[in-house]
A and B are shown apart, each in its own frame.
Chain A
Amino acid sequence: MIRILHTADLHLDSPLKSLALRDESMRDVVQTATRAALVRIVDTALSERVAALLIAGDLFDGAARSAKTAAFLVTQFDRLADADIPVFYIKGNHDAENPITGEVALPTNVHVFDGRGGKVQLPGTNIWVHGVSFSGRHAPDSLLDKFSAPIPDAINIGMLHTSLGGAAGHDTYAPCSEADLQNMGFDYWALGHIHKRKVYGSAPWIVMPGIPQGRDIGESGPQSATMLQIENGEITLSEVPTSAVTFLSHAIDVSTLTADDLLRDALRQTFRDLGNTAGETVILRLSFSGQSERHWHILRDRALWEETARELARETGKLWIDKVSFDLNAPTSSDSNNATDELAQIMDAIRNEPGFSGEIAGMLDTILSELPAHLRADLLPDQDAMHALASDLTGRGAAQMIALMKGATD
């Protein structure tokens, strides 16, 4: 049986994005997780004695431009070279953009397909690997016509970095449809670009292996590389876990938790359950949801609850809190007509006055100017976003104030 390991989108040395990393003990546990993922992939390749490692683009991250990244990569490829394991690599949009790509002197066991495409026979087998690289950071047209015809009576694997159909409003990268791929006559399409793992078809296999290491809460869940087992011309697949850190979102319903102790117990239980089921290290985004009589209490003490959650999570030794959000519905029975309720109504009214919202927008603009430019750009792609954000923050601030004032009266 021949094994081939397929991965893509390593985004090497792309940093994790989580406030959990503010915690120094967390930093000690997990550092440079994308490197850890690559090491795991190489470890697996060596221990499973694979015939080849396929990297379907985005080995580098657009932003990570340190030569050290390249040096690290070379050491890992050298490990494979020592075991005579070839690496097949096509450049994705990030690689094309990253200047390091051109500067690295990769070991001889690494075959890099160029933008004109090509094919290579896996030594001692009847397996052919075809591939086409991105030549620039954009590939608005399909790259399929650059592939040569499959070799008859052989197993043909195609490597392509593509956004497939793409999503409306987003840049398309080497667009093509599943049907296009099926018609090419290959046995396995080793794809890359989309970070969520998905098997699009099994005849032929069309596989997006997903990112080996998620970098923020948007890339949550355990991640993997895809292992091909080829026997008697048949290909079967399995997943190889790769992520060193797993991002998770979890909501805890506080509706029935009518006392602090109950809420604390529920947190502890939740963490214990998550700790038992999840991988070795988990970055958790926790949200309090539901409708509680203690709505105002919880909101008032949100700093306390956040700290409690962090502390309890830390006790598990594997869970680390990224953020705690309070998505609570206010209690409906608000028949009391006291001063704070009146204040709440006034605040709600002021919030929607253009003068006030203008002031808030100004303040937001001022403080955001303290941030690095790229963060601002990410946060506020356009003017509407600014207003939406200002409105959202004001709403939260108002709710928090009401909670505090109610707390003061209790």
Chain B
Amino acid sequence: MRLRKLSLDLFGHFAGKSYDFGTAGEGKPDFHIVYGPNEAGKTTTMEAYLRLLYGFDTREAYDFQHQRKNLRVSGVLETTQGDLALTRLPTRAASLVDDSGTALPDAAIAAQLGGLSADDYRSLLCLDDDTIEKGGEEIANSKGDIGRLLFSAAAGVSDLTTVLDGVDADANALYLKRSSKSEMAQLKKELADVTAQIKAHDVPASAYRKLRQTLAAATAQETEIGEERSALIAQLAEIKAKQTALPLLQKLDQVEAQLAPLADYPATLDVAPEDLVQMLTKQRQAEADISRLTGEMKTLTAELEQIVRHPDQLNLESDLADLDGARSRFATAQLDLPRRAETLNTILSDMKAAASELGADGDPAQLIIAPAILARLEQAREAKRAAIQDLKAEQDEIKRLSDRVIIAQDNLERSKETTPDNAVIGDILDRFSVDSLAPAYAKAAEAIASTQRQLTTALANLAISGQSFTSLPSQPLTAQEVVALAETHTELARKIAQTQDEIDRLSADAAGLEAQIQQIRDAGAIIDDATADDEMQKRDALWLTHRETLTDKTADQFETALRRTDETAQRRLAQAKDIGQLRQVMQNLAETQAREGQLRQRLEKQQAKQSTISTQLSDVADEMGLSRTLTPDVFSKWVQQVETAYSAEQQLRITRNEHAAVIEKSNRLVTALSDHITLDAPDFDTLVTTARQRDKAAREIRERQNTEQRALDDLNAEHSKRDKRRDDLTNAVATASAAWNELVAECLQNQVDPERLELSFEPLRSLRELDARRTTAARQVEAMQADQTQFSAAITTLATKHGLEVEDEPLVTFAALTDLANAAQAAETDHATLTAQLDERRTAITQARQTLEDIEREVAELGKLFPQHVPAQSVDDLRHAVTKAQEAIAARKGKAELETQITGQLHLPDITSARHALENTSPTMLDAQAMQVQGDLDEIETRYRQAIATRAEAAQDLQAVTGDNLIAELTERKTTLELAMQDTALRYVELHAGHMLAQEAIRRYRDAHRSSMMDATQQAFAELTNGAYTALQTQPDGTSETLIAIDAAGRAKQAQDMSKGTRFQLYLALRAAAYEQLASQGTCLPFFCDDIFETFDEERTKAACKMMERIGRRGQAIYLTHHQHVVDIARDVCGDGVRVHEI
């Protein structure tokens, strides 16, 4: 592919810049130099080419003049399939179009680019200062892998090292020897961690078994020590027992000695000495009792013989008791009877008084009536009273009604006196619908007044320079026209002033220049151009003459002329500066004068135009009636005011037309109302207000009359209704009175006056109550008198029976009888008491004798218990013997207890063996033994506690083995980690093996392809250095290799030892070789270099140009430069093999 045409339609600072690289001539190299000074846009051109191929950048750097959306680059590419005319647009989609504007896919170009990306193209086929410098440095520092350079260039792909490095990094991330960061190392660390955790927390089978064994051993140990400890405790207990038993044994010996004399005393005794003391006391008591009782019996017998008894009077007491109720009633009656009789009499007199109150003088009992009858009487009396009450109320009501009728009639009369006018005004108001007309009239009147005011104001505003206007002036021109004229006038005035200024300035300049000329002329004799020309012409003429004749004379003449011209020229050369200056100043003067003339013409034209406008405006002002001439500016403003006044008048007319109908109707209403309402100046608003007030007053009076008439009618009707009702009630009263009189006569046997009864029923009710009390009092009196009679009879009978004299007063007799009965009863009682006391004394004496006998018998019995030699006949003797016997018993018991204690302490069956055990021991010896054993025990106690702790710990350890899943989880993690390690290892091998393979494969590929590349580079380098270097070699350096150049003398030189320029040449040679390689693979693209020969000397620049030409033979080479000498050298070296394009 080659570039035929490139157009920077809109790109960078270019618009429409294009290059035509023409067609590739047969046999001619396709080598182009684009020449332009700095900043001319060489780099821009190269970038434009890349945009054409690859499209615009999203953030375009070349949009500083034309906006990105407007950028556009086009060109024609020659391809094997024919020419492609393309345009690149900055659009996102379909940015590539052909010359017919049809969008093309990017693939249309991509197919020609051999798979190079924009970056590839730039780094492989576009060389500039920067890239060549970096490339050169890379070679020098051996940083760039030469092989890689060769390979990537040859392979036509971007370098694979990135891929290899990436894989290598990936592999190293997985595993790197001695690295602690690699995945494998991390996994190992994690694994170690988990394994340690398992080890720390797990109880494996073996440990579990050990735990169980430990527990068994600990248990056995505990048992063993426990037993030992028990033995020691027993031993200590034995010693302690002996220590306790030893003093007991001594005590036993003492008791035995004490017991020896009392050996034959009884072993047991039922009697205590206290019992015997009691027995002695009892004996003495019994003897004392017998003597006292015998004395008492004698006294009692004497008393008994003195008592006299009356058996016949023993019943009297009960007889008197039977009469006691009667006696009590008799005594009461004696006090109450007179008071009761008096009460009865009082009641009877009260009854008589009550009857007389009712006007009855017969038996009051006849006036006592049943409650039912009394109720009937009350009912009749109530009926009569109610009838009278109703009648009275009705009469009062009729009287009040009569009063109200009189008042109502008065009111009606009065209001009829003020009868109002007829309702004409109301009709008129309705007819004109005043409610809607009034606001419409107000609005219309206001609108007209407002516009009228505007017109008046506008006319007043027209007043100017003492002249005022009452009517509107005529208007020959519109305001706009006048304003336009005035503005033109003003503009012209401004221009005239400007022109005048410029003329003044130019006049001054001309004057200055003339002065300058004069000064130069005055300064010295200047040979002016005319003189010089003249001499030259003379010389030329003489020369012609001499040439024709060739004589000495003509030669001399010519010589003289020649000398003169030379002299003149010499002098003029000396004066050159002054002449040049003079020429310049004179030229300037001419220019200035010419411009001044031109300006004066322009000024005249402007002034003429201005006066025309002034005339036109003053004509108009006259026509409008202005008495004074105004400036155009003021005049135009005044004309605008006139226009305002016109429009105000127009507005007034329109408003009047709008409201004509309303005004007309209002006027008619005023006329109609004026007939009925007399006003001094009847305007619309006043008339309507007055009419409305009058209409309202008339309507109110009519309404009041109607109300009053209706009230009077209602009152009359009510009056006649009430009269009828009163007559009915009068009849009812008469009927009720008759019924009452009749009932009173019937119920009270005509003894009572009905009128007196009507006043009160109280006497009747009192009579009824008094009668009830009278009955009760009479009955009580009778009962008391009967009781008195009965009691007196009974007393008399009893007194006679017991031989007592009967007294008048029965109560005295009763008292005497009572005394008799009491005396008989007392004698009987005393007799019985004494007899009982005697019997009691007799029994007590018998008992005391019995007691004495018992004691004697018991003493004899107890005495038999004791040995013969012990006196025991009396109770006292016995007491002594018993005390001794008890001592013996207590001593024996003490002995037995001591023996029990001793044998118990020593755990021995009998005292004999105990004595045997305690033989040959002493307290001191036992203390010593005890201390020793205690020491042993303390020591074993510590061991015992330890054994228990150990056993408990072992048991706990065993129990701590729970079924939690900690270990299972850790094991699972461990397994996963191991899997991950395995996976990592295999992945590492996979990657690493792949990497090794690829590296080796690339190396072999390189070797396979390097010779052609190396040859090409070597040839290019030799050419570029004009044979200073003849060969290139590579030298292995670790994993990479270094490029070494061999100079003409056969010396090897490393890149870093070369000069900068030479290094650049080496790099350029590599690039050129790569281009060859690419081209030979069928990828042949334009090769751009941007001023890279700067560091080359002339010879090598020549060589470089030749190399570019050679590239041009293979493909297309485009060299961009701002150095003319490069262009010259290229032309020199390549002749027409190079085409130069200037920017």
Q: Which residues of A contact B (CB under 8 A)?
A: 13, 15-19, 21-22, 27, 31-32, 34-35, 64-75, 98-100, 103, 323, 339, 342-343, 346-347, 350-351, 356, 359-360, 363-364, 367-368, 370-372, 375, 379, 389-390, 393-394, 396-401, 404-405, 407-409
Contacts and interface: CB of A to CB of B under 8 A. Distances in A.
A103 B981 contact: no
A395 B1060 CA distance: 47
B469 interface: no
B160 interface: yes
A64 B212 CA distance: 20
Given A16-B975, A65-B204, A350-B1001, 14 more contacts: A32-B968, A67-B202, A67-B208, A68-B963, A75-B963, A342-B1005, A359-B996, A360-B989, A360-B996, A370-B985, A389-B986, A397-B991, A401-B994, A401-B995
Nearest to B162: A408
B207 interface: yes
Contacts of B990: 393-394, 396-397, 400
19 contacts: A13-B965, A15-B968, A18-B979, A19-B976, A19-B979, A32-B965, A32-B969, A67-B208, A68-B966, A103-B209, A347-B1000, A350-B1000, A360-B993, A375-B978, A379-B982, A397-B990, A400-B991, A404-B166, A408-B158
Nearest to B986: A393
Contacts of B998: 343, 347, 398, 401, 405
B997 A16 contact: no
Contacts of B969: 31-32
Interface centre among A15, A360, A375, A379 (most CB of B within 10 A): A15
A18 to B, nearest CB: 7
Contacts of B209: 99, 103
B961 A364 contact: no
A17 B974 CA distance: 10
B207 A22 contact: no
Interface in B156-213: 156-158, 160, 162-163, 166-167, 175, 184, 188, 191, 202-209, 212
Interface in B978-1025: 978-983, 985-986, 988-998, 1000-1002, 1004-1005
B1001 A68 contact: no
B159 to A, nearest CB: 9
A379 B978 CA distance: 12
B989 A67 contact: no
Nearest to A36: B965
Contacts of B965: 13, 31-32, 35, 68, 72
A409 B156 CA distance: 10
B910 interface: no
Contacts of B166: 404
B342 interface: no
Given A17-B975, A68-B202, A400 B962 contact: no
B175 to A, nearest CB: 6
B997 A401 contact: yes
Interface string B1074-1118: 000000000000000000000000000000000000000000000
Contact of A21 (B972, B995, B997): B972
Given A342-B1005, A400-B991, A371 B997 contact: no
Given A343-B1005, A397-B990, A69 B968 contact: yes
B770 interface: no
Nearest to B157: A409
A354 to B, nearest CB: 14
Contacts of A22: 976, 980
Contacts of B997: 347, 350-351, 356, 394, 397-398, 401
A370 B157 CA distance: 39
Contacts of B976: 15-19, 21-22
B155 interface: yes
B967 interface: yes
Contacts of B983: 19, 323
Contact of B963 (A17, A71, A394, A407): A71
A71 B204 CA distance: 12
A216 B985 CA distance: 20
Contacts of B157: 339, 408-409
Most chain A CB inside 10 Å of its own CB: which residue of B158, B966, B969: B969
Interface in B359-415: none
Interface in B1113-1132: none
B208 A70 contact: yes
A397 B1002 contact: no
B203 A16 contact: no
Contacts of B206: 99
A347 B991 contact: no
Contacts of B988: 367
Contact of A393 (B155, B989, B1002): B989
- Name B's interface SS: helix
B968 A356 contact: no
Contacts of A70: 208, 961
Contacts of B985: 367-368, 370-371
A-B residue pairs, 6 tightest by C-beta: A397-B994, A72-B963, A99-B205, A67-B208, A15-B975, A71-B963
A343 B1002 contact: yes
Interface of B: 115, 155-158, 160, 162-163, 166-167, 175, 184, 188, 191, 202-209, 212, 961-969, 971-976, 978-983, 985-986, 988-998, 1000-1002, 1004-1005
B509 to A, nearest CB: 76
Contact of A346 (B156, B980, B1004): B1004
A297 B534 CA distance: 92
B205 A103 contact: yes
A115 B163 CA distance: 64
Contact of A66 (B115, B204, B980): B204
Contacts of B991: 397, 400
Nearest to B991: A397
B920 to A, nearest CB: 58
A368 B982 CA distance: 8
Contacts of B967: 13, 66, 68-69
Nearest to A351: B997
A75 to B, nearest CB: 5
Contact of B160 (A31, A399, A408): A408
Residue among B160, B978, B993, B1000 having the largest count of chain A Cβ atoms under 10 Å: B993
B972 A363 contact: no
B979 A363 contact: no
A408 B161 CA distance: 10
B793 to A, nearest CB: 111
A164 to B, nearest CB: 29
A346 B175 contact: no
Nearest to B207: A67
Contacts of A399: 994
Contacts of B163: 401, 404-405, 407-408
A70 B964 CA distance: 10
A408 B1002 CA distance: 15
B90 to A, nearest CB: 26
A394 B188 contact: no
A356 B158 contact: no
Contacts of A350: 997, 1000-1001, 1004
B961 A343 contact: no
A31 B972 contact: yes
A401 B996 CA distance: 10
Given A75-B963, A360-B996, A372 B978 contact: yes
A398 B999 CA distance: 11
A298 B976 CA distance: 27
Contact of A363 (B208, B993, B1005): B993
Contact of B204 (A17, A67, A372, A397): A67
Contacts of A16: 972, 975-976
A331 B65 CA distance: 51
Contacts of B1002: 343
A350 B1003 CA distance: 12
B981 to A, nearest CB: 6
A186 to B, nearest CB: 34
